[in-house]
Chains A and B, each alone.
Chain A
Amino acid sequence: MALLDASGGDIFREEEARMTSSSSKYPEPDGPLLSVRSVTKRYGARIGCEDISFDLWPGEVLGVVGESGSGKSTLLGCLSGQLRPDAGEVLFDTRDRGPVDTLRMSEPQRRHLARTDWAFVHQNPRDGLRMGVSAGGNVGERLMAGGARHYGRIREAASDWLGRVEIDTGRIDDRPRQFSGGMQQRLQIARNLVSGPRLAFMDEPTGGLDVSVQARLLDLLRGLVRDMGLSAVLVTHDLAVVRLLADRLIVMKDGRVVETGLTDQVLDDPQHDYTQLLVSSVLQV
């Protein structure tokens, strides 16, 4: 417990400093933020995902595409600690101890990481928000979990973040139920990013939204990722989303990676048959 409290406090203070000076520069990376090594997950005889390896560098956005059932959501679950892989390593470059295999961390350590240095954006905002708690409370929760005990400052931070995700700060005391789908999704993003995470897991973050709302959200996400130097693993079946957000792509089929590369390269010149099929099945804009 002592460890949890101490490190939680540190991260919170660090974050507080960052919130006040959002223009701080990030040092040049000396290694990947996330190293995934041979991650395999089976459901009985069926393969969830098999032998997945990649590196994610600070500030990089990796898109994982494939049709439903291709194993991309299983992979995301394995990386974010929500599923337990049968084999492999997921090394995360922690602030205090350097690269640590998150699969071998204790539950308190992993949860601590999940609410400080990681973000998880669910496709359905209902899965990522507390629907009975005000917008301000939703955004403030991570700060309070990290030990923040000053109502005024928590509210200020929440208010600031509502502004950053383009939600009228006058609605700080409204509950998410009263928000539109797009607003709920932006609130979910604010709730996750308030702790200044370095790594975001996103599961179809624009799924279920109208096209015009999607565009605005993508724009916002792109800005936030750039401003915060955030790294992200973005799972989607929507190639337009990865074209806009992802630096690199992994294409998955039947639980395996069939193609990887820079986003433009993969989308403009797909090598694998399956990728060609994926790309050709999307109307060109």
Chain B
Amino acid sequence: MYVAVKGGERAIDAAHAWLDRSRRGPVDQPVLDTAQIRDQMGLAVTRVMAEGSLYDPDLAALAIKQACGDLIEAIFLIRAYRTTLPRFGASIPIDTAAMRLKRRVSATFKDAPGGQILGPTFDYTHRLLDFRLMADGELPTEPLAEGGETESAATPHVLSFLNRDGLIEDAAPDETPPADLTREPMELPADRTLRLQALARGDEGFLLGLAYSTQRGYARNHAFVGELRIGMVAVEMDIPELGFAIEIGEIEVTECETVNQFKGSRSEPAQFTRGYGLTFGQTERKALAMALVDRALRWEELGEEDQGAPAQDQEFVLSHCDNIQATGFLEHIKLPHYVDFQAELELVRRLRAGLSDQDEDAA
């Protein structure tokens, strides 16, 4: 006699045990330390922090280890953990002009007050596998350049020089408190602050593809990197009991401002416009992509034409940029669907039977 399949619970436990073993790998190798991940896989850590929306390098390293290096899985672990954290309040806006810079480049001016700082970049490395890293991993012999990170003497943004001549749109401070994507449901159409929030935690690959599509003509917005800067900024919070703001810590961020050509429209004069990207950690590709997509999404407020390009369609971009939502829904098709499939089977059989009746009638 047929017996329905049972034992889902035991199967799940066994699968988890297998996963634990496979994560550990051969036991004759030393176990990977989360401090090693934090300090030697720094760019993976910052991506997890950026898309996990939680600045904590130690937890990000733990998540990467637990996820066996699957970064989207690691981001998911961080997001789920983040949900359970109490919220004390909001910081005052960080001052990126006061950033302690480790990298700062501008593509629009050969030189600008504060200078160009290449910093630790892959940009001009030749992409040749360095087998020395396989052998040992010793430090380079070249001494570290003088200075390293700049001291916190404020370095003005490059775009502020253009602003003085009115050649670029004004970015006047907006005092309205922004909506909070993590506390309120996304409301469409979304204003720019909400869009930027969504993009900041959006999937790097998805934004990269969209930004690339704008460069190839799907809502081209002629972006120049006005400035890209990476460094440490202070996070300050107003403490009601004290009556003033105090510094509660420092975080590393990447900020990208693009300068975009703009010939003017019915409502706006010809001037340069801006795209903006800001992300946790050293996440340069993400910040650049974010700035291009941000600019593409601004077509309506600037009176530009709707070209029907994916990067201009805020509902399309915002509904699909979150990799945790995307991967969950994509992967849920692995779950049992046999009830629905059975309903479809029955329908298809009935439709086919109906069709053959008709054939007979016709014959």
| B164 is an interface residue with CB less than 8 A from chain A | no
| B267 is an interface residue with CB less than 8 A from chain A | yes
Question: Which single residue of chain B is at the shortest CB-CB distance from A46?
Answer: B266
Question: Which single residue of chain B is at the shortest CB-CB distance from A43?
Answer: B266
| A152 is an interface residue with CB less than 8 A from chain B | no
CB contact list, A1-52 vs B, under 8 A = 43-44, 46
Interface range, B side: under 10
Inter-chain CA distance A44–B268, complex, in Å, is: 11
Chain A interface SS verdict (over half): strand
> Which chain B positions have C-beta within 8 A of A46?
266
Q: How many A-B residue pairs have CB under 8 A?
A: 4
> Which chain B positions have C-beta within 8 A of A44?
266-267
A124 → B minimal CB distance (Å): 15
Question: Which single residue of chain A is at the shortest CB-CB distance from B303?
Answer: A44
A213 → B minimal CB distance (Å): 29
Chain A 194-216 against B: per-residue CB contact (8 Å), 1 yes, 0 no? 00000000000000000000000
CB contact list, A41-75 vs B, under 8 A = 43-44, 46
> Which chain A positions have C-beta within 8 A of B266?
43-44, 46
A48 → B minimal CB distance (Å): 11
Chain B 250-285 against A: per-residue CB contact (8 Å), 1 yes, 0 no? 000000000000000011000000000000000000
Inter-chain CA distance A43–B303, complex, in Å, is: 12
A210 → B minimal CB distance (Å): 28
> Which chain A positions have C-beta within 8 A of B267?
44
Inter-chain CA distance A46–B266, complex, in Å, is: 9
A47 → B minimal CB distance (Å): 13
Inter-chain CA distance A255–B266, complex, in Å, is: 17
B166 → A minimal CB distance (Å): 20
Question: Which single residue of chain A is at the shortest CB-CB distance from B265?
Answer: A44
Inter-chain CA distance A43–B265, complex, in Å, is: 12
Inter-chain CA distance A208–B314, complex, in Å, is: 33
Inter-chain CA distance A44–B264, complex, in Å, is: 14
CB contact list, B210-267 vs A, under 8 A = 266-267
Question: Which single residue of chain A is at the shortest CB-CB distance from B267?
Answer: A44
B46 → A minimal CB distance (Å): 45
Inter-chain CA distance A282–B267, complex, in Å, is: 36
CB contact list, B262-316 vs A, under 8 A = 266-267
> Which chain B positions have C-beta within 8 A of A43?
266
Inter-chain CA distance A278–B357, complex, in Å, is: 63
Inter-chain CA distance A43–B266, complex, in Å, is: 8
Nearest 4 A/B pairs, CB to CB: A44-B266, A44-B267, A43-B266, A46-B266
- B interface, CB within 8 angstroms of A: 266-267
4 A-B pairs (CB sep. < 8 Å): A43-B266, A44-B266, A44-B267, A46-B266
